[in-house]
A and B are shown apart, each in its own frame.
Chain A
Amino acid sequence: MLPWLFASPADRRLLGGPRLRGATPWLIGIMSFSILIIAASGLVLANTAGLLTRSIQSRYLLEVPGGGVNLDALTAVVRSCPGVTNVEAVPQSEMRRTLEKWLGPEASNADLPVPALINFDVRSGADVHAIEQRARSLAPAAHVSAHRDSLAPLLRSLRILQWVAFGLVVLLASAAAAAVVLAARGALDTHRFTIEVMHGIGATDLQVTHLFQRKIAIDALAGGVAGAVLAGVVLLLFTTGASFAQELTGGAFLTLGDILILALLPFALTILATFVARAAVLAALREAL
């Protein structure tokens, strides 16, 4: 299995020079770091969107514009409706505290009409229209709206950001592949004489290619793992040290599956680099006799 990866010491000496020299490990390291941070962000966004979607899927808001209704009585009406699993009235004091941010002390003025708000969750299949009708028996202006409708634009934005993150990962991987092509061609130029001698003695293109493929695979693996370790440290600091991270993500972080995906990324990058290097070297060799 992969005999080219386990070259003999003599084969390893053919390209000479110390290990892990040149731009490839650095390039792949930087790419790996960037890809991991972006991929992690994308996964956290996906988790946040999922968390948000699940939490608002069955949540509705009953609103009575202008207030002036017995909130406790209305809450009791809603709670008594079939299919309702949870009811939370937003206290007037909380509403006024929120309004204070915009209106200042004026928010405490009793003449200020403050809407009555009740959040409630329903079981699947519950008749929300019937709940609204029953609420109207107590407060004719009451109307019910789904949380998912009001948060739809935010969810759409989160989904778009996920795709942007995915696109960036693909873009960075493509840039890494392009850098590997350049590195492979540079290595071929550096070792042109050795290649000519090997060809003259009867080496096949594949034998020559294996030398470069192995060198680039090792460089890419070293760079990829180094970049991944650094990205892991940054992510760890971010998730454990920064309290605002919790606020940003709403408590959604990386799952074990996500961490596994992220851990596999540097290896995927190494495989990509190896195959790109192989194709680039073979193509370049075929240009010669």
Chain B
Amino acid sequence: MLRDLDFRLAGGGFYFLTGPSGAGKTSLLKLLYLAQRPTRGRVRLFGDEISEAPRDALPDYRRRIGVVFQDFRLIRHLSAFDNVALPLRIAGAKEDEAEGPVREMLAWVGLADRASARPPTLSGGEQQRVAIARAVINRPELLVADEPTGNVDAEMARRLMGLFSALNRLGTTVVVATHDVGLIGSTPGAQMIRLENGGLVDPTGILKNPPPPRGMS
């Protein structure tokens, strides 16, 4: 359970969310990617108050958010290609419009030759890369990732963080929940949010007074 949280994320910032298991990282991420509403308090996203936004308004916000789930959440009966293409299709892209970007994204995560494979036939690392490709295919304004490098080797982890950084440079706000301290150290300019017992540890005060936004408001 989260309590007494009061912070702002700067648009275009890069944040690592850390803390021990059970500290509330996943709950906080769920608030960010609109899988939950707060029982009390307010959440503002993209400049809008969304805590009590009508249900019909949520899809538009969700389309601006990319999410990498810890358990990947890939649809088992769809191919890797179809899983990655899903956000584009939901946003209204036609079959031929999705083809190029999806092939490109799969190539980028090293799965060009696994496009027609279904998740159960992919390794954990491959599934994670498909999940990441799906999360970023739409160039989201906010990217939320829960342990995105937990199942990939060091080289792939470095490449994925490079992708996140590239997106961040284009204006995407990135929030990555991780236990990997090395990951935090290797991302210049990233801020760290630490949660303990559902509360925020912010000794420097950076979260209450973030720097001006770079790419988004």
Contacts and interface: CB of A to CB of B under 8 A. Distances in A.
A194 B59 CA distance: 15
Nearest to A11: B89
Contacts of A14: 75, 78
Contact of A200 (B33, B56, B82): B33
Nearest to A207: B90
B52 interface: no
Interface string A200-221: 1111110100000000000000
B62 A200 contact: yes
Contacts of A8: 89, 94-95
A60 to B, nearest CB: 71
Given A13-B78, A194-B75, A286-B55, A201 B90 contact: yes
Contact of B73 (A16, A17, A200, A286): A200
Band of interface residues on A: 20 to 34
A201 B78 CA distance: 15
Contacts of B33: 200
A202 B85 contact: no
B35 to A, nearest CB: 6
Contacts of A207: 90
Contacts, number: 66
Interface of B: 33-37, 55-56, 58-65, 67, 73-75, 77-78, 82, 85-87, 89-91, 94-95, 98, 134
Nearest to A204: B59
Interface string A132-146: 000000000000000
Nearest to B64: A202
Contacts of B34: 289
B62 A202 contact: yes
Given A13-B82, A14-B78, A286-B55, A198 B90 contact: yes
Contacts of B62: 199-202
A197 interface: yes
Nearest to A15: B77
A194 B85 CA distance: 14
A211 B152 CA distance: 34
A10 B85 contact: yes
A202 B93 CA distance: 13
Contacts of B94: 8
11 contacts: A10-B85, A10-B95, A11-B89, A13-B78, A14-B78, A16-B77, A197-B86, A198-B86, A200-B33, A201-B87, A201-B90
Contacts of B63: 201-202
